[in-house]
């Protein structure tokens, strides 16, 4: 006998302002419990040290999590100069010191070297798997973990302030897979010193922003029904960069049942031509009927094939 799922069918996105000191998985579990939601996921892990935007997908929104994780991100972070730690943040012990403290002019002169596509070596204490084992588990066991450099993208990197002589605060816009701890480590090296992250706050993930977020405490203080009604964002919020394809009722019915929809009339071809001009290389679209999402789909020639059907 199949196990009965616990919770209610809640569908949509909630933007959580994750506090420091909890993992993303713990934060997700708390949201699901507070909303009595039967299914959930999150759109991009934040370290326990970090706070800020953690998009929480509930119900059918979990089928769009990968699109949220691909979204551009904005971070605010503070680097302490002169101390390197094992974890590249304040949680690890100090293993190297330097008396060099870069001034604002030197910092600003170095920042352009990190813009665009750059190769970045992830921190040893990261969730990347090496021979089937998490890098942070190996590092905690005393092993020296050699991780390969990865190509990441930095679109904006600005000095936001200098709280004191030993620290500097930055704001950065970056793409998927960027490690802020590595960025801080490499910038410090570029400036002839060492450093580690003492504060990390995520301000944005794609279309999910801090202005639309709620804390766990405020969420806990709301009535469950009111929280769902006032806070949940539509499933398609994670799909801002994906073009929409409006379907007829008959087309939507076919797609929802996993069948391919052929668009062969002249009017259909005009629809496809306009769509393909804005679609990505993979032809991904969000199929809509009466303004509501039906499925994530892919356009192949004159055919629309369902990728993930949304059961709403």
C-alpha 157/C-alpha 282 separation (Å) is: 30
The pLDDT of residue 1 is 39
Are β-strands 12-18 and 51-58 bridged in parallel, bridged antiparallel, or unpaired? antiparallel
Q: Which residues pair with 301 in a beta bridge?
A: none
Which of 59, 63, 39, 12 is closest to 296 using CA atoms? 63
C-alpha 181/C-alpha 50 separation (Å) is: 11
What end-to-end distance do the CA atoms of the chain give, in Å? 25
The pLDDT of residue 132 is 58
pTM: 0.86
Structure tokens at 11: 């569908």
Which of 110, 114, 82, 113 is closest to 97 using CA atoms? 82
Helix axes 224-231, 24-35, angle to 10 degrees: 120
Q: What is the mean pLDDT of each run of 10 residues along the chain (312 residues)?
A: 65 95 94 92 89 95 88 96 94 94 98 96 66 54 69 97 96 94 96 97 94 94 80 87 86 89 76 66 80 86 86 80
Which of 224, 222, 217, 221 is closest to 27 using CA atoms? 217
Are β-strands 195-205 and 51-58 bridged in parallel, bridged antiparallel, or unpaired? parallel
The pLDDT of residue 158 is 98
Tell me which residues are annotated as active site: 47
The pLDDT of residue 261 is 85
* Structural domains of the chain ordered from first start: 12-71+207-238 (3.30.2350.10), 73-205 (3.30.2350.10), 242-309 (2.30.130.10)
Torsion angle defined by CA atoms of residues 151, 152, 158 and 160, in that order, rounded to the nearest 10 degrees: -120
C-alpha 151/C-alpha 20 separation (Å) is: 28
């Amino acid at each position: 006998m199949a196990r009965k799922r616990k919770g209610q069918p809640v569908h949509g996105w909630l933007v959580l302002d994750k506090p420091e000191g909890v993992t993303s998985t713990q934060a997700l579990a708390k949201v699901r419990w507070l909303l009595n939601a039967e299914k959930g996921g999150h759109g991009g892990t934040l370290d326990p040290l970090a706070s800020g935007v953690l998009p929480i997908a509930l119900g059918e929104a979990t089928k769009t999590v990968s699109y949220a994780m691909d979204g551009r991100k904005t971070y605010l972070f503070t680097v302490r100069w002169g101390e390197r730690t094992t974890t590249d943040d304040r949680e690890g012990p100090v293993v190297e010191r330097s008396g060099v403290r870069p001034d604002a002019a030197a910092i600003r002169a170095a920042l352009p070297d990190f813009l665009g596509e750059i190769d970045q070596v992830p921190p040893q204490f990261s969730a990347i798997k090496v021979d089937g084992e998490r890098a942070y588990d190996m590092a905690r066991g005393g092993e020296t973990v050699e991780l390969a450099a990865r190509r990441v993208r930095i679109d904006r990197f600005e000095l936001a302030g200098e709280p004191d002589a030993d620290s500097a605060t930055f704001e950065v816009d970056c793409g998927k897979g960027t490690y802020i701890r590595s960025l801080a480590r490499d910038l410090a090296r570029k400036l002839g010193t060492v450093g580690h992250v003492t504060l990390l706050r995520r301000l944005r993930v794609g279309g999910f922003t801090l202005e639309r977020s709620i804390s766990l405490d405020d969420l806990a203080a709301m009535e469950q029904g009111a929280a769902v009604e006032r806070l949940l964002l539509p499933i398609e919020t994670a799909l801002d960069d994906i073009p929409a394809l409006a379907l007829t009722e008959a087309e939507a019915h076919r797609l929802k049942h996993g069948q391919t929809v052929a668009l062969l009339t002249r009017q259909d071809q005009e629809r496809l031509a306009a769509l393909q001009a804005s679609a990505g290389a993979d032809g991904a679209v969000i199929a809509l009927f009466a303004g509501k999402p039906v499925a994530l789909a892919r356009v192949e020639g004159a055919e629309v094939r369902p990728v993930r059907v949304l059961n709403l």
